[in-house]
C-alpha cells in the first residue's frame, strides 16, 4: 500500500513537472522570440566520467607551480581550463603577443610534464588569453584569438570549433555499462559576443595600478548609486543562445556541467560577472526554468579566489587561480578582508586552488551523486558540497518565485535607486567613502613600493594552522 502511494506521488510530481516545463518553455519562446529545438552534443564519448578537474588563471613564470603535479596525482578523466591560460604582457594586445605566450608555455618543462600526464585536456579562453583585459565583442583580433586557442588545444584544421564564431562547445560522457550515468559538459564563450557593461574599460590595453583603482572605484559607485541597474546588453550572442537552448532542451543527460569563465551567480559587482549584464543573466535563469536540465553545476574562474555558492540544489564553484591568487599578489588585503568577507556573507579562499567534481550513482534511488570540491595546492579540500543522489533533481525549478532562496529569481545584483537615495548616498560617500578611498590608495602605494624594492612576492602558501 505504501509502495503504491509512493509510486502515485512520484507520478503526480513527474506530471506536474512536465506540465510546468511545457508552460515555462512556451513563455520563454514568446519572451525571447525563439523556438526551443533539442540539439545533440557536439562531442560524445562512450566512457564513464568519474572525475572532472578544472582550474583557471595560470602563469608559470611565477616559479611556484607545485599545484600541477597535485592535479596530476588526482588522476582526472578530463582536465578543463576555464580561462586565462596565458597572460600576454601588459600593453601588448595583438595576436603576436598571444602567440609568444603560448609558445613560451608549450616550451615550459613543467607544463609539458603536466600535460603529458593528463588523459584529456580541453578548455576555453577568458579575457587575457582572448587578448585584452575585460575583452568583449569589439576586440578586433577576436577571430585570431579563437584560432590560437584551437592551436594550443591541438584541434585539427577542419575541426568544427574552428568554423564557429566563438569557442563554445559541448561534450557528453555516456557510461557504456550504465545508461543513467550520463554527464553533459557545456562550455560557454563569454568574450566573443559580449556587449559592454555600464562601466567597461573593454579596449584598454595599457593597464596600470591607477587604471585598476579607477575601475574598482567606478564599479563601486555604479553599485551604490544604482547606475547601470538596467544596463542592456548580451553575453552570448543570439547564435550561441540558440545553441545553448538546444543543449539544455530535452537533454538526456543526468548531470549538466555548465562552464562560464565569468562568475554567474555572484552578488559582487566589483569584478566582471553575468550580473553586470542583468538582462542576459535573467535570460539564463529563464532558460534554466524553461528547459529544467537535471543537476546543473556551474563552473567559473577569473577572480583569483576560490569559493562555492549553493542555493536550492544549484551549485556554482569558482576555481581561481592556479598560480597567483589574489592574497599572494596582495597580502595587504588579508586584514581588511578578514572582517569584510563575513559581512558579505561569503566564504572565500584567497590562495592557489583547483576544482574537482566526482560523479557516481546512488544504487537505491538511481540518481547521480556528486562530490564538488575546491582544493588547495597541496590537494587538501577547502570547501565541498556533497549531493548523495537522494533529492529530486527537478526541485530547483518548482515554485521558483515563492522560494526564499534561489538563484533563478530576483537575479539582479545592482539595485535601481531613487533620486533621494542617490543624494543621501552621495553625502555619505563624501563624508566616509572618499577618506576611506584615500587611505586605501596610500596603503596600496606603500605595498607597491615594498614589492618593487623586494622584487618578489611573499610566501605563496599560508602557514599551516596549529592543531
**Is the pLDDT confidence value at 301 over 50?**
yes
pLDDT at 163 over 60: yes
Residue 31: partners with Cβ closer than 8 Å, 6 or more residues away: 286
Task: Cell numbers for 372, please give them.
Answer: 564538488
Q: Place 345 in a pLDDT band, splitting at 50, 70 and 90.
A: low
**Non-local CB neighbours of 34 within 8 Å, separated by 6+ positions:** 28, 241, 242, 245
Chain mean position to CA 168: 14
pLDDT band at 4 (very low <50, low <70, confident <90, very high): very low
At 7 the pLDDT is: 41
pLDDT digits (tens, 9 = 90+) for 36-91: 999 999 999 999 999 999 999 999 988 789 999 999 999 999 999 999 999 999 88
The mean pLDDT value of the chain amounts to 88
Which pLDDT does position 213 carry in this prediction?
A: 75
Report pLDDT for 5.
Answer: 45
Pick 94 or 22 by higher pLDDT.
94
- The answer on pLDDT for 461 being more than 50 is no
SS3 247: helix
Q: Taking residues 1-21, what's their average pLDDT?
A: 48
pLDDT confidence of residue 72: 99
- Give the model confidence (pLDDT) of 208-267 as tens digits: 777 777 787 788 778 878 888 999 999 999 999 999 999 999 999 999 999 999 999 999
Q: For residue 13, what pLDDT is reported? A: 47
Residue 329: what pLDDT? 78
The set of residues, in sequence order, having a beta carbon less than 8 Å from that of 214 and lying 6+ positions away, is 201
Residue 188 burial class via C-beta count within 10 angstroms: exposed 0-12, middle 13-18, buried 19 and up: buried
Top pLDDT among 366 and 448 is at 366
- 20 pLDDT above the threshold of 70: no
Q: Find where cell 583557471 sits.
A: 56
The pLDDT assigned to 79 comes to 99
pLDDT value for 6: 40
H or E segment to which residue 25 belongs: helix 2-32
CA 23 – CA 26 distance, rounded (Å): 5
Between 19 and 216, whose confidence is greater?
A: 216
β-strand pairing of 78-81 with 51-55: parallel
Q: Looking at the predicted structure, is the pLDDT value of residue 422 above 80?
A: no
Give, for 317, the enclosing helix (H) or strand (E).
strand 314-318
**The pLDDT of residue 339:** 60
Please give the residue that has the higher pLDDT: either 81 or 198.
Answer: 81
Model pLDDT for residues 315-336, shown as the tens digit of each residue: 999 999 999 998 887 776 766 6
Cell of 163: 568554423
Q: Whole-prediction pTM value? A: 0.89
Rg value, the chain, Cα: 23
C-alpha pair distances (Å), 220 with each of 53, 227, 231, 340, 414: 33, 10, 15, 15, 10
pLDDT at 463: 41
Q: Residue 306's pLDDT is what?
A: 97
∠223-228-231 over CA atoms, to 5°? 140
Look at the block and give the residue holding cell 542583468. 278
Q: Where are the alpha helices (DSSP H) in 117-237?
A: 127-130, 142-152, 209-224
Confidence class of residue 462 from pLDDT cuts 50, 70 and 90? very low
Instruction: Note the pLDDT tens digit of each residue in 99-124.
Output: 999 999 999 999 999 999 999 999 99
Please list the alpha-helical segments (H only) found in 80-175: 95-107, 109-116, 127-130, 142-152
Contact between 344 and 107 (Cβ < 8 Å): no
Cβ(349)–Cβ(384) under 8 Å? Answer: no
- Residue 127 has which C-alpha cell? 579575457
Contact 49, 43 (CB under 8 A): no
Confidence band, pLDDT 50/70/90 cuts, at residue 268: confident
Amino acid at each position: 500500500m505504501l509502495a503504491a502511494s509512493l509510486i502515485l506521488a512520484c507520478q503526480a510530481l513527474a506530471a506536474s513537472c512536465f506540465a510546468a516545463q511545457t508552460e515555462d518553455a512556451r513563455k520563454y519562446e514568446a519572451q525571447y522570440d525563439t523556438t526551443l529545438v533539442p540539439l545533440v552534443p557536439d562531442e560524445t564519448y562512450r566512457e564513464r566520467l568519474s572525475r572532472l578537474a578544472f582550474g583557471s588563471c595560470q602563469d608559470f613564470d611565477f616559479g611556484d607551480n607545485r599545484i600541477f603535479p597535485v592535479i596530476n596525482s588526482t588522476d582526472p578523466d578530463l582536465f578543463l581550463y576555464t580561462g586565462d591560460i596565458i597572460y600576454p604582457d601588459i600593453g601588448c594586445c595583438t595576436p603576436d603577443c598571444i602567440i609568444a605566450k603560448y609558445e613560451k608555455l608549450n616550451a615550459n618543462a613543467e607544463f609539458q610534464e603536466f600535460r603529458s600526464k593528463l588523459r584529456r585536456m580541453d578548455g576555453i579562453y577568458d579575457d587575457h588569453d582572448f587578448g585584452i583585459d575585460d575583452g568583449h565583442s569589439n576586440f578586433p583580433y577576436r577571430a585570431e584569438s579563437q584560432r590560437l586557442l584551437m592551436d594550443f588545444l591541438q584541434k585539427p584544421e577542419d575541426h568544427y570549433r574552428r568554423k564557429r564564431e566563438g569557442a563554445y562547445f559541448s561534450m557528453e560522457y555516456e557510461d557504456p555499462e550504465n545508461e543513467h550515468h550520463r554527464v553533459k559538459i557545456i562550455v560557454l564563450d563569454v568574450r566573443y559576443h559580449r556587449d559592454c557593461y555600464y562601466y567597461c574599460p573593454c579596449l584598454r590595453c595599457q593597464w596600470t595600478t591607477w587604471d585598476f583603482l579607477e575601475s574598482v572605484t567606478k564599479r563601486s559607485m555604479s553599485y551604490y548609486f544604482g547606475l547601470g541597474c538596467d544596463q542592456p546588453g548580451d553575453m552570448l550572442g543570439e547564435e550561441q543562445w540558440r545553441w545553448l537552448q538546444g543543449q539544455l532542451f530535452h537533454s538526456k543527460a543526468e548531470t549538466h556541467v555548465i562552464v562560464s569563465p565569468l562568475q554567474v551567480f555572484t552578488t559582487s559587482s566589483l569584478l566582471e560577472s553575468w550580473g553586470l549584464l542583468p538582462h542576459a543573466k535573467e535570460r539564463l535563469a529563464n532558460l534554466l526554468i524553461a528547459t529544467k536540465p537535471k543537476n546543473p553545476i556551474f563552473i567559473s574562474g577569473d577572480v583569483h579566489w576560490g569559493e562555492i555558492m549553493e542555493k536550492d540544489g544549484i551549485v556554482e564553484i569558482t576555481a581561481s587561480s592556479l598560480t597567483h591568487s589574489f592574497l599572494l599578489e596582495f597580502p595587504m588585503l588579508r586584514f581588511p578582508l578578514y572582517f569584510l568577507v563575513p559581512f558579505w556573507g561569503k566564504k572565500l579562499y584567497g590562495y592557489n586552488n583547483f576544482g574537482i567534481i566526482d560523479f557516481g550513482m546512488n544504487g537505491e534511488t538511481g540518481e547521480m551523486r556528486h562530490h564538488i570540491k575546491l582544493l588547495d595546492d597541496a590537494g587538501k579540500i577547502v570547501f565541498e558540497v556533497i549531493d548523495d543522489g537522494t533529492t529530486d533533481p527537478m526541485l530547483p525549478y518548482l515554485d521558483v518565485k515563492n522560494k526564499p532562496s534561489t538563484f533563478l529569481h530576483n537575479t539582479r545584483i545592482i539595485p535601481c535607486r531613487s533620486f533621494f537615495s542617490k543624494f543621501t548616498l552621495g553625502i555619505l560617500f563624501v563624508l566616509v567613502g572618499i577618506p576611506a578611498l584615500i587611505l586605501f590608495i596610500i596603503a596600496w602605494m606603500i605595498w607597491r613600493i615594498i614589492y618593487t624594492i623586494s622584487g618578489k612576492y611573499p610566501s605563496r602558501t599560508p602557514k599551516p594552522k596549529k592543531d
